[in-house]
Amino acid sequence: MKHNKRISPSQVGRKLRAQFGAGILVVVPIIIAILILVWLFNYIDNIAQPVAQSLLGRTIPGLGFGIMVLLIYLTGLVATSLIGKRLIRYGESLLARVPMFRYVYTGIKQIMEAFATPREGGFLQVVLVEFPKQGMRAIGFVTNESRIESGEKLLNVFIPTSPNPTSGYLEIVRESDVIRTNISVDDALKMVLSGGKVSIQEVTDKLGAQS
């Protein structure tokens, strides 16, 4: 006879608070980024359109957006230079003094760097993990490996949410409980971002072999 495990109101409250807090950590940076981009577009467009009107006698649709994209590209170009890297490090040291922003910015930055440079201190391998319950599999990225006293290997696996891979879950699982793959981080990321619309044959083959 099965007994349903009762969940106390305090446990429900803690779980709701944790989920709400995780949601804030994901949503707030995205909203801030969108607001900044919208403000930047409007600011540039309000300056550029009058100039285009005076020089060409008409406005140019999308001029502000084009200039904004160019500025973002040039910023990235400068950021990859030696001087740019020093300026960014200095700016990050200032931001690190802001408690709430420090954790949000650092966490997202580390995840994005891991996706961008998988071979340089990023994700070690793409695996399939039984998640969120028995009989279901999720794409995971191995971030670290360790061994316990018995000699068994444990894997730290980051399981991203779809379609936003900057949030997710950290699972510590036995090596024997994961399915290792030869899928590249780029291909796995495409599948996550597309919500599964971009399928990978190796995933199907691996799961088929397990059934």
Rounded to 5 degrees, what angle do the CA atoms 111, 115, 118 make? 115
Is 105 within the bounds of a domain?
no
Predicted TM-score (pTM) of the model is 0.49
Is 108 within the bounds of a domain?
no
Dihedral sign for Cα atoms in the order 126, 128, 132, 136: positive
Among 174, 190, 92, 94, smallest CA distance to 139 is for 190
Rounded to the nearest integer, the mean pLDDT of the chain is 78
pLDDT (tens digit per residue) in 28-72: 777 877 888 888 888 888 898 888 888 888 888 888 888 988 888
Instruction: Give the type of residue at 113.
Output: E
Spatial CB neighbours of 182, under 8 Å, sequence gap ≥ 6: 202
Task: Supply 178's token pair.
Answer: 């994961």
pLDDT in the model for residue 124:
85
Is 51 within the bounds of a domain?
yes
Q: What total number of domains does the chain contain?
A: 2
Where do the H-state alpha helices sit in the chain? Answer: 9-56, 63-79, 82-95, 99-116, 185-193, 201-210
- Given a cut of 70, whether residue 139 has pLDDT beyond it is yes
Give the whole-angstrom CA distance, residue 85 versus residue 79: 5
Residue 179 belongs to a domain with what CATH number?
A: 2.30.30
Q: Say yes or no: 67 and 130 in one domain.
A: no
Q: What domain range includes position 177?
A: 125-210
Separation of CA 83 from chain center: 27
pLDDT in the model for residue 122:
67
Identify which has the larger pLDDT, 154 or 104.
154
The residue-averaged pLDDT of 181-208 equals 77
Is 135 within the bounds of a domain?
yes
Neighbours of 28 (CB within 10 A): 13
